């Protein structure tokens, strides 16, 4: 006998699948999207992923995305800031459209004082501008993190990050 259909999470910029693995473990159907083949290959190599219709993957740049399927959760963990600014509003609209009423966004925006804000192909927002992107939602968490540290390659970096969870109004 078949059980209820699991809710769908779109994992935007899923990379090597750290979140996707946890989401699958918790019973979500996951649609992972990433622009880089190596990340998706690492995801598929994870021992916890057996072939399943509840895990679908798409190799695509954010800049090339069209409409997204309806989802209960749109997870964009440290990924949306890598979308080129010229495409961000359209990609963000597709994300907002896809989230079902009562569904959630979880992810990060990067702030205007972040070291990478000066890189032309990155999308950064001031605190007010980031909050304004959620006028369709109840913001459940908006944590601002600002600290000196290092990037993944050990380069000195000033981090200015907003960690956000928001629920779409019904």
Ligand X SMILES: C[S@@+](CC[C@H](N)C(=O)[O-])C[C@H]1O[C@@H](n2cnc3c(N)ncnc32)[C@H](O)[C@@H]1O
Residues 6+ apart with CB under 8 A from 16: 39, 42, 43, 46
Instruction: Single out the residue of 30, 43, 68, 79 in contact with ligand X (rule: CB under 6 A).
Output: 79
Binding of ligand X by 21 (CB under 6 A):
no
165 binds ligand X (CB under 6 A): no
Instruction: Name which of 88, 79, 110 is nearest 10 in CA terms.
Output: 79
- Cα 143 from Cα 99, distance rounded (Å): 21
User: x/- site string to ligand X, residues 22 to 41, per CB under 6 A?
Assistant: ------------xxx--x--
Neighbours of 121 (CB within 10 A): 12
Q: Which of 9, 10, 15, 55 binds ligand X (CB under 6 A)?
A: 15
Residue from 42, 44, 58, 78 touching ligand X (CB under 6 A): that is 78
What is the x/- site pattern for ligand X, positions 104-123, by CB under 6 A? --------------------
Q: Least Å distance between CB 124 and ligand X? A: 14
Distance CA 17, CA 42 (A): 8
What are the residues binding ligand X (CB under 6 A)? Answer: 13-15, 18-19, 34-36, 39, 61-63, 77-79, 82-83
């Amino acid at each position: 006998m078949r059980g209820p259909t699991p809710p769908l999470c779109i994992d935007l910029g899923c990379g090597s699948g750290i979140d996707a693995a946890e989401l699958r473990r918790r019973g979500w159907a996951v649609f992972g999207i990433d622009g880089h083949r190596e990340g998706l290959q690492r995801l598929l190599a994870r021992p916890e992923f057996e072939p399943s219709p509840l895990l679908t993957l798409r190799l695509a740049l954010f800049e090339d995305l069209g409409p997204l399927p309806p989802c209960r959760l749109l997870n964009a963990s440290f990924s949306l800031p890598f979308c080129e600014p010229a495409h961000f509003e359209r990609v963000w609209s597709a994300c907002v459209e896809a989230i079902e009423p009562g569904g959630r966004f979880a992810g990060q925006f990067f702030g205007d004082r972040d070291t990478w804000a000066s890189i032309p192909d990155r999308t950064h927002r001031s605190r007010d501008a980031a909050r304004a992107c959620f006028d369709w939602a109840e913001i459940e968490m908006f944590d601002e993190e600002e600290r000196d540290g290092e990037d993944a390659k050990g380069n000195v970096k000033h981090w200015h990050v907003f960690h956000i969870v928001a629920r779409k109004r019904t």
